[in-house]
Amino acid sequence: MFKAFNRRSEAADYKAENEYLITLGDVKKAYKTEAGDFYALKGIDLTIDRGEFVGIIGKSGSGKSTLVNMITGIDRPSSGEVIMNGTAIHHFNEGQMAKWRGVTMGVVFQFFQLLPTLTVIENVMLPMDFCNMYSSHERHDRAMELLSLMDVEAQANKLPTMISGGQQQRVAIARALANDPPIVVADEPTGNLDSRTAEQVFHLFENLVAQGKTFLMVTHDDDLAEQMSRVITIADGELVADSRPAASSAELDVEADTESDGETEKESV
Ligand SMILES: Nc1ncnc2c1ncn2[C@@H]1O[C@H](COP(=O)(O)OP(=O)(O)OP(=O)(O)O)[C@@H](O)[C@H]1O
């Protein structure tokens, strides 16, 4: 049903409660240190829509991985809320969280975290086994398809320690896609790849976004960040910039026209 808003913030509030895929409200994270609590996140407010390709940038130690851990439910906020698709995940117990993450989210960790005692293909099949997705035959075929997509199918029966860092990273990406999750969160997924392979992997991500997935990607690569639909910058645990470098000028023109018409703003942002 049509709903008109008088203020941009009212429209944003409405959307946060009803439509946003990811909403973080005043998220703080304190780590216990000998010197007392250290706040790695100091009150993050953030909303992310379906189908966005969001880059997370910031200097080393600014809080990017901590933020990602809040969104993936790998760690919990000290205060504030994390709402995913209308569900407050910070209230989940460990079992609920693991199941929810398994079907909803593909995670590419900064240091891959492949299980060293499982072969490459077993690592990729693991999320499907854990969530009981697909038949066992399909799991194998799907894992091979994903390994082939990432150009590491020849490594399928090796242990992770027998392949290079870049290959491990590609296996970790294949594993993140195993359950065909609607959201993928990747911490420096191209950090160990040469620039050509990094571009190829990035284009694969773009294709997945075009198919409707939502991608969040921590990166130190400014060239890649500029190609994303949205880039947020973290500094000292705070969100200090939120920009849309890849927004087309046409989109910006439409927004400008709407504002200059002086019409009541609708939930178009
Ligand atoms: N378990 C922990 N205990 C104490 N301090 C921590 C812990 N984990 C992270 N920190 C601190 O919190 C801050 C944010 O760390 P985080 O790993 O989120 O940063 P980052 O932006 O991801 O860094 P990088 O780009 O180097 O990966 C840093 O100052 C870090 O030292």
**Residue 260 covered by a domain:** no
Number of domains in the chain: 1
Q: Which domain holds residue 54?
A: 8-247
DSSP result, 152-192: -GGGTTS-GGGS-HHHHHHHHHHHHTTT--SEEEEESTTTT
Residue 194, domain CATH = 3.40.50.300
Number of other CB atoms surrounding residue 250 within 10 Å: 7
pLDDT of residue 20: 76
164 within domain boundaries: yes
In a domain, 252, yes or no: no
Say if 269 falls within a structural domain.
Answer: no
Model pLDDT, residue 195: 85
What pLDDT, in 10s, does the model give residues 63-121? 999 999 999 999 999 999 999 888 888 889 988 898 888 889 999 988 888 999 999 99
Contact 15, 265 (CB under 8 A): no
List pocket residues of ligand 1, CB cut-off 6 Å: 31, 33, 38, 40, 58, 60-66
Going from the Cα of 41 to the center of ligand 1, the distance in angstroms, rounded, reads 10
Q: What is the pLDDT of residue 194?
A: 85
Nearest by Cα to 92 from 113, 77, 109: 77
Tell me the CA–centroid distance for residue 177 and ligand 1, in Å.
26
The verdict on residue 1 lying in a domain is: no
Output the CA 197–ligand 1 centroid distance in Å. Answer: 28
In a domain, 136, yes or no: yes
pLDDT number for residue 38: 97
**% helix, strand, coil for the chain, step of 5:** 40, 25, 35
The answer as to whether 208 is a domain residue is yes
231 within some domain: yes
Give every residue of the chain whose pLDDT is below 70, as ranges: 1-19, 246-269
